[in-house]
Structure 1
Amino acid sequence: MNVANVVNETTDEAGLRVKTPKALVAGRPGPAVRDAALWAALAGAGVFAYREQSDPSPVLGLVLPLLILAAAVPGSRRHPAPAVFLANAACALGLAHPSATASPYLLALAALTYLLGIRSARTGPALLLFGVCTAVDLALCAVLGVGPVYWFYAMSMIPMALVLPWLAGRYRQARQALVRGGWQRAHDLEQRQRFVAEQARLRERTRIAADMHDSLGHELSLIALRAGALELSPTLTGQDRTDLAVLRAAVSDAVGHLRDTIGVLRDGSEGEPTASSVEPVEELVDRVRESGVTVHFRREGAVPVLPPLVDRTAYRVVQESLTNAIKHAPGSTVRIRIAHQGARTHVRVTNSAPPTTGQAATGRPATAQADPARPATALPAPGPAPEPASGHRGLTGLRERVLLIGGTLHAAPREGGFEVLAALPDRVSPERAGTTGEPHPREEAGSESVRRLAAARRSTRRRFVVAFAAPAGVGLLMLASAAYLALQLATCVLRPADFAALRPGQDRAELAHLLPDRQFRYVPEAVTKARPAPPGTVCEYYRSNSNLLDEVDVYRLCYAGSRLTAKDVLPS
């Protein structure tokens, strides 16, 4: 089944494009339908509040806010911050209304702020937007000279509608990101598991290549050496010598093919697998001596218990050096010295310059094998020794092996021969722990999963602090606004005894010591319409007591010029 037939690309709440099965997309309304439904719900709240107002202004109270919401709701998908600013403008229109604030559109502001928290991951611009909106509202209050209730609305209700829904949206966004990140992490783990399996196959291929090169190549070289020595035996017939020459040539070709194959297997390998047990170096030297090679071996110092990886590397250094001496300098004398000093093992293998051609095959004069009872017979020269493959893969692989465990290798010509010097640590350092298949703490600390976990913890701590700090800040702001409102209401109280002492006809200056410092500016419009002021007068309003929780009667004093003409009690 083609995946493209069952998967469709859609846009989620955060504005991100995600792949969703078509079966689910078919039953889900599109973005335009969802935006229209949201606008209808917000507009319904505004229409309901508009119908409850007395003497409403259709343009200021209904038409203009609905047009603003019609632009803000769909625009919030691509530009959520300007949409919030437009919704705040719809709320601010209520500040210009003579008798009612824009509380119905607080719902629209809260909804668009919630969408801002979901669709925008940046905190700084959002906080700057909230500050600008609050500053605009307070500036409008100051320009219009509104009453304390409006100030309380602008200083507490609007900031609360800005901050708290945004925090809820941020939480929803973080939860969605966590879910998406979890599935992405699971996908990455599956990919990494396949990669690890492939790397395991490559390491196994490298191990096979190393063993074939070090073991089989060495044995083939010894076979070629023995065939060359047997070819010089005076007891063989001409046909036997021909067959041995063909055999030695075949072995030489096999060594060449083996090196080519090993080169292909080793290409792209990343490291050496875990070492396995090998025979002691002394047994290797004995087998080479049995092949007719002159080898002098010496071990110095107390032999420590070496890790398998170090022991195998030392064995491979000696084996590769012997193999190269047999192939490149047949008949030469090989000297091997292994010294254990301090915490390191030093391996030194040197071979002398190769002897003459007649001695090259066995390392000793050809006449030493002649039978005195038989007439001297011209012996054919032995065939060429196996030639090394181009690229010197043996020394290259050996150097890689030594470097992997933290050692050093030096190989260079010396006095007509060749010398290999290797210094190996008796213990593999933690920095080389990866070569033994054990994870290193530094690698674990620097892994992608650890970095993601640390970033998630930091983000969680920040969100935890904000979750408590933001409501606390909003609460303090509301408390300050309530305190300011209480101060405004408490300082516009005219005591009933003082109100009773007022007499129409008195001058305004005579009443100054009885009147409070501030007037009560928020008088319900329905009350003023039921008791209109006398024509040609200017009225002042005062609260009858300082009770902030209950509705109280309002005292009205009307002046004609500076003379008190009427005083009334307006029920709340």
Structure 2
Amino acid sequence: MMPLMRTVILWVVAALPVVWAAITSLPGRLAPWEAATYLVVLGVAVVLVRRRPVTALLVTGAAWLVAFLSKVPADSTVGVGVLSTGLVTVGFLAGRHATAGERGVVALIGAGAAAVTSALVVLGGVDTALAAVSGIAALAAVPWAVGRYRRQYLGMVRAGWERAEQLEREADRAVEQAGLRERARLAAEMHDMVGHELARAALLVGALEVAPALAEEHREAARAARTAVTAAAERLADVVLVLRSGEREPVRSVDEIVARARRSGLSVDVTGDGAEPADPVIARTVHRVLTEAITNAIKHAPGAPVTVHLAGTGDGVELRVVNGAARRAPADAPGSGQGLLGLAERVALVGGRFAAHPLDDGGFEVTAHLPGKPATGSAATGTHRHRAEQRVRRSARRTVLLACAVAGGIVVAVLGYLVFDAATSVLDPADYQRLQLGRPESEVAAVLPARTRVDRPDAAPPVPEGASCRYYSTHANPFDERRLDLFRLCFRDGRLVDKALVERDP
């Protein structure tokens, strides 16, 4: 699917709740200008999310918070749902496209803090602040984590295909090298066997040519035969040269590498039996590890002595390069660590083991255990697959834990707020019974709790004309069978004009 078409589809999906909120008959329906504004914001966020994922997430989160705070007093369904699909979509895409997750985490924490602060300042209700931060967590943080997991998973799949292509190229190179070795073998056989026979034939024909008893016409025939054999030998030499042109240059031995390092002024000591591998691939790996280790020692520990230990084992060779602590600070030795990672990959490719770590005395040690012959490609890919699977598993665990933590946090916060709301708004039944109609509000307030109940009953006695009513809990336990019953007190002109027990079926 083309990127433009995909962007349009995502925008349409995110815009559906906005259109619904504009045409619904609910009290908090959107005005046309509000719907148009939110559609533009969603369009900008969907277009921006690929290049500026965190910015798109913040823009959409801010728009959701504005819609929530402006509409939730009239209708909570519209307040929560108008931009919920857009926030979920942008949150997932932001996590999917963000190269690093730290900025997104900081942005989400900031969005949660802004939601709580804005809800307390604008509407002044703890329940609204709880709902706002729960919305940011459920609609933005969880999709962000899912997007991060999706990125890790697709990265593992992409790395697998790249690895397969690399192994295919290596297989092609192996076939090519096998062909080169066969060409070299044929060249050697042709040179040693056919060339020798041609030289012998030319010598015999030459002896026949100078024989005194040979007639002149036979002598001319012998001369022509000798010329033909000599030409065949020259053409054979040309063919051998062509066959041998594909041979690779021989790999430098450990002694040659060490000698070159000593000529540059490095103090190098060689230990072990010096048993170099016979296989050319393993020999090149030894050459690569030794060269990189000596180069690192020169860069990061100038002036330090280096010890090279090469010894044969039962199934291969062991190479260990140890350098001491730097005798002087390196002038400029930046390093990305890619050299050692490349060595680890190369050693793993042939089925060996690699380790590199600093020593207690300030030095550094590089160790490679290599087999006698390269391992197959399946063994070489184990390290790559294991690392990629570990990253994906960690991302999946973080996603599941975050989703569970958000869900559990919302449940605990809601239950806790229910307990808080009921316990801090309880009007003692005995005080309720003593309240008399017509008493001044100032006298009644002396026995009333500091808070009123947040919820308002749909089915209640009619409110007296011109009066304002308050609702209070009948008891502190919000979970028993009469948890929804409320005391209602109505005041008009500063006096209590009505009181009622509102009984609701739980």
* TM-score w.r.t. length of structure 2: 0.59
Q: Which residue number corresponds to residue 413 of structure 2? A: 481
CA contact (8 A) 2:116 2:133 kept: yes
The amino acid of 1:475's aligned partner reads A
**2:131 — aligned with what?**
153
Give the secondary structure class of the aligned counterpart of 1:154: helix
Q: Which amino acid aligns with 1:492?
A: S
User: Offset at 1:271?
Assistant: 8.4
Q: CA deviation at 1:140?
A: 0.8
Residue in structure 2 matched with residue 502 of structure 1 by the alignment: 435
Question: 1:520-556 deviations in whole A, cap 9, x for unaligned?
Answer: 35547x7999637857x8x764333345465442534
For residues 284-338 of structure 1, give each alpha carbon's deviation from its aligned partner in whole angstroms, at most 9, with x where no partner exists: xxxxxxxxxxxxxxxxxxxxxxxxxxxxxxxxxxxxxxxxxxxxxxxxxxxxxxx
Matched, 1:568 2:499: yes
Q: In 2, Cα distance between the equivalents of 1:60 and 1:558?
A: 39
State how far apart, in whole Å, the 1-side matches of 2:37 and 2:461 are. Answer: 27
Aligned residue for 2:60?
87
Match of 1:124 in 2: 102
For 1:111-159, what per-residue CA distance to the aligned partner results, in whole angstroms no more than 9, with x for missing partners?
Answer: 3323334444543333233223212212212322532321221232330
Deviations 1:238-292 (A, max 9, x none): 97999878777766655444333212111122489xxxxxxxxxxxxxxxxxxxx
- Sort the Cα spacing of 1:220 and 1:540 in 2 relative to 1 into closer, same or farther, 3 A: same
Q: Distance in 2 between matches of 1:529 and 1:59?
A: 37
Residue type of the alignment partner of 1:142: L
Distance 1:555 1:428, change over 3 A: closer
The corresponding residue for 1:334 is none
Of 502-511 and 460-469, the range deviating more from structure 2 = 502-511
- What residue number does 1:376 align with? none
Kindly state the Cα deviation for residue 465 of structure 1 after the two structures are TM-superposed.
1.9
**Is 1:103 the counterpart of 2:34 in the alignment?**
no
Matched, 1:542 2:486: no
Q: Distance in 2 between matches of 1:445 and 1:544?
A: 77
Kindly indicate whether residue 39 of structure 2 is the aligned counterpart of residue 51 of structure 1. no
Q: State the distance in 1 between where 2:120 and 2:385 align.
A: 49
**Structure 1 residue 221, shift from structure 2 partner:** 4.9
After superposition, the Cα gap between the structure-2 partners of 1:480 and 1:75, relative to the gap in structure 1 and judged at 3 Å, is same
C-alpha distance in 2, partners of 1:83/1:497?
56
Q: Is 2:15–2:86's contact at 8 Å kept on the other side of the alignment?
A: no
In the TM superposition, residue 192 of structure 1 has moved relative to its aligned partner by 5.5
Query: Partners of 1:166 and 1:135 in 2: how far apart?
Result: 17
Distance (Å, rounded) in 2 between the aligned partners of 1:523 and 1:66: 33
Counterpart residue number, 2:118: 140
Secondary structure, aligned partner of 2:427: coil
SS in 2 for 1:52: coil
In 2, Cα distance between equivalents of 1:227 and 1:148: 114
Q: Answer whether contact 1:149 1:522 (CA < 8 A) is retained.
A: no
Residue type at the aligned position of 1:53: P
Q: CA deviation at 1:489?
A: 0.8
Distance 1:70 1:151 in 2: 28
SS of aligned partner of 1:110:
helix
Larger radius of gyration, structure 1 or 2?
1
Query: Given the alignment of the two structures, is residue 472 of structure 1 paired with residue 404 of structure 2, yes or no?
Result: yes
| SS in structure 2 at match of 1:516 | coil
CA distance in 2, matches of 1:495, 1:178: 63
SS at match of 1:492: coil
CA RMSD of aligned residues (A): 4.9
CA distance in 2, matches of 1:125, 1:190: 38
TM-fit CA distance, 1:475: 3.2
Q: Which of 223, 228, 243 in structure 2 is aligned with 1:265?
A: 243
Query: Contact conserved, 2:15 with 2:39, CA < 8 A, in 1?
Result: no
Q: Structure 2, unaligned stretches of length 5 or more?
A: 251-272, 287-311, 319-348, 353-373
Question: Secondary structure at 1:555's aligned position in 2?
Answer: strand
**Preserved contact between residue 558 and residue 566 of structure 1 (Cα < 8 Å):** yes
Q: 1:11 aligns with which of 2, 14, 27?
A: 2
Task: Tell me the amino acid that sits aligned with residue 47 of structure 1.
Answer: A
Equivalents in 1 of 2:444, 2:462: separation in Å? 30
Q: What's the counterpart of residue 349 of structure 1?
A: none
Asked if 1:458 corresponds to 2:458, the answer is no
Count of aligned pairs between the two proteins: 387
1:297-308 equivalent positions in 2, closer than 5 A:
none
- In structure 2, distance between residues paired with 1:38 and 1:171: 22
Q: Would you say 1:531 and 2:488 are equivalent positions?
A: no
Identity of aligned residues (%): 24
- Structure 2: how far apart are the matches of 1:499 and 1:59? 48
2:472 partner SS: strand
For the Cα contact (< 8 Å) 1:76–1:83, is it kept in 2? yes
Bigger shift: residues 76-85 or 126-135: 76-85
Secondary structure at the aligned position of 1:542 is classed as strand
Aligned-partner Cα distance in 2 for 1:61–1:568:
41
DSSP-derived class of the 2:25 partner: helix
1:542 partner letter = Y
Q: Is the 1:147–1:522 contact (alpha carbons within 8 Å) kept by the matching residues of 2?
A: no
Q: 1:75 to 1:522 in 2, by over 3 A?
A: farther
**CA distance, structure 1, for counterparts of residue 94 and residue 47 of structure 2:** 12
The CA distance in 2 between the partners of 1:270 and 1:110, in whole Å, is 58
Per the normalisation by structure 1, the TM-score is 0.53
Compute the displacement of 1:104 (Å).
Answer: 1.1
Find the aligned partners of 2:230 and 2:317 in 1 and give their Cα distance. Answer: 41
Contact between 2:489 and 2:496, CA under 8 Å: does it hold in 1? no
Q: Match of 2:186?
A: 208
Shift of 1:220: 4.4
Structure 1 gap segments, 5+ residues each: 1-9, 16-29, 273-341, 345-399, 407-425, 433-438
Amino acid at match of 2:69: L
Structure 1 residue aligned with 2:262: none
Could you tell me which residue of structure 2 aligns to residue 396 of structure 1?
none
Give me the whole-angstrom Cα distance separating, in 2, the residues matched to 1:482 and 1:158: 15
CA distance in 2, matches of 1:445, 1:146: 68
Q: Tell me how far apart the structure 1 counterparts of residues 381 and 116 of structure 2 sit (CA, whole Å).
A: 47
1:163-204 CA-to-partner distances (Å, cap 9, x unmatched) read 333344455555656666666666666665555444443332
More RCO (CA 8 Å, sep 6+): 1
Give the partner amino acid of 1:499.
Y
Q: Which residue of 2 aligns with 1:24?
A: none
Give the Cα separation in 1 of the matches to 2:433 and 2:210: 148
The alignment partner of 1:51 has SS state of coil
Q: Is the 8 A contact 1:114 1:166 kept in 2?
A: yes
